[in-house]
Amino acid sequence: AKVIIVGGVAGGATTAAQLRRIDPEIDITIYEKGRDISYGNCGLPYHIGGEVAERDQLVAATPESFAERDVTVEIFHEVTAVDPDNRTVQVKDIRNDRTFDAAYDYLILSPGGSPRLIPALLDVPQAFVLHSLEHLDEIKAHIEEKNITRAVVVGAGYIGLEMAENLVHRGIEVTLVHRDTEIYRPLESDMSDFFMEELKSRGVDVKLDTEIVEVSGDTATLSNGEKIEAPMIIAGIGITPRTDFLEGSGIILNDEGYICTDKHGCTNKEGVYAVGDAIETNYHHVDRPVHVALAWGAHRMAYVISNQISGDSSVCFEGLLGTNIIRFFDYDIATLGLTEPELADYPHFVVDHRQKNKAGYMSDSVPIHVRAYVGKDDGKILRAVVVGTEGVDKRIDILSAHIRLGGTAMDLANIEVAYSPPYSSPKSVLNMVGYKAI
């Protein structure tokens, strides 16, 4: 059988590797429109900050290393149309400016999303996004060539915040411009005061409730009339799914352009699968569609699809909780489950709990704040939030596993934790959320 994969980064390269591992014979070709494949986008900001010392540490595989495993990789090849009835794709070889058709038995779509850019930044030479290795190289070259000591970050979502942190680590002075009135929308506003304190203490100049409307030379004008120095601008304001090329293919997209998939990773067209940031799937814990542009789902779906294609249809995608975590200087912020606006559709009560992350008498114990939104009828944890400076990752992962295995908020009281004073308390922070929910 012949497999064509569209997109060669997280979802695409992982599916190719899984498929080759399961099936040594199957014919696999990856078409990637960009220059690079199989790199860790998640690590890009950390190379700018220096925590990832070598750029090449971010590269997991190359066309050459895939060739050794008999996987064909065509870079600078863009799939421009799909014909599921005839099982062909149209491919544009960008470097040679020619177009050809390629036939498949199975097609796997992993086109990801395009980073958004505000209109005022469209033709600005010092305005960048950070979504690929090519972008990383451009940003690094700009910093070095122009001796950048100051930068503007647009957007206070997770990529904007990671950029701000990493630029500060690099010794660059940062102005953070955010259209909203609050930093990091995914976190409840009454839990997020620390962001402003942390930003201030790191010397980041924060401009809220405004946006860049014009850039002239190295000066940006904000909608509130203020002018700021902007010799480098990096925008992190979200993505839109790169699914334009599917227009006319009959493959069903949702209203926002995400590819609808079932629990086998299959689209509505036989033999056409989709994975990664461009898909719509379902929540694990409630029956509601969701799209989550994070790496865990891409890796899991890659495994599911490669098993499906290799004949093991028992391996299914069980939906997502959207479990996520970010580090922001000293803080860790993690959430899972429904968004705050979505909670409005589910009758629930809130359990809010603060406790030290380890025995309170330990001199280095620090507070940890957990909030759970609990379904009124069934005790289901609909959404959970964990914030603190240590031990947040452990709590969110326990919550994720607990929900995955059908545990309720009340059941949290029964989780037997590994306790000794440097790690937890005999009644851990999550146990206490359980006791409070009863």
Can you give the binding site for ligand FAD, defined by CB under 6 A? 6-12, 31-34, 41-42, 44-45, 78-79, 110-112, 130-131, 159, 242, 245, 276-278, 293-296, 298
Q: How far apart are alpha carbons 239 and 84 in whole angstroms?
A: 26
Helices and strands (H and E) in the chain: how many: 10, 26
- CB of residue 244 vs ligand FAD: minimum separation in angstroms? 8
Order of strands across the sheet with 289-290? 259-260, 279-282, 289-290
Intra-chain end-to-end CA distance of the chain, in Å: 55
- CB of residue 277 vs ligand FAD: minimum separation in angstroms? 4
Cβ closest to ligand FAD, residue 10 vs residue 26: 10
- CB of residue 114 vs ligand FAD: minimum separation in angstroms? 8
Q: Is 42 a catalytic residue?
A: yes
Q: Which of 251, 304, 254, 253 is nearest to 275 (CA)?
A: 304
Cβ closest to ligand FAD, residue 281 vs residue 425: 281
Could you tell me the sign of the dihedral formed by the alpha carbons of 186, 190, 191, 197, in that order? positive
Cβ closest to ligand FAD, residue 302 vs residue 433: 302
- CB of residue 235 vs ligand FAD: minimum separation in angstroms? 12
Q: Closest residue (Cβ) to ligand FAD?
A: 276
Cβ closest to ligand FAD, residue 148 vs residue 294: 294
Q: How far apart are alpha carbons 8 and 135 in whole angstroms?
A: 16
- CB of residue 190 vs ligand FAD: minimum separation in angstroms? 25
- Residue 181: how many other CB atoms lie within 10 Å: 9
Which distant-in-sequence residues (6+ apart) come within 8 Å of 185 by Cβ?
157
Quickly tell me which residue has 């289901």 as its tokens: 380
Tokens of 72: 């064909």
257 to 92, 93, 115, 210: CA distances (angstroms): 22, 25, 14, 28
Cβ closest to ligand FAD, residue 6 vs residue 199: 6
Q: Which of 42, 260, 266, 316 is catalytic?
A: 42
Active site residues: 42
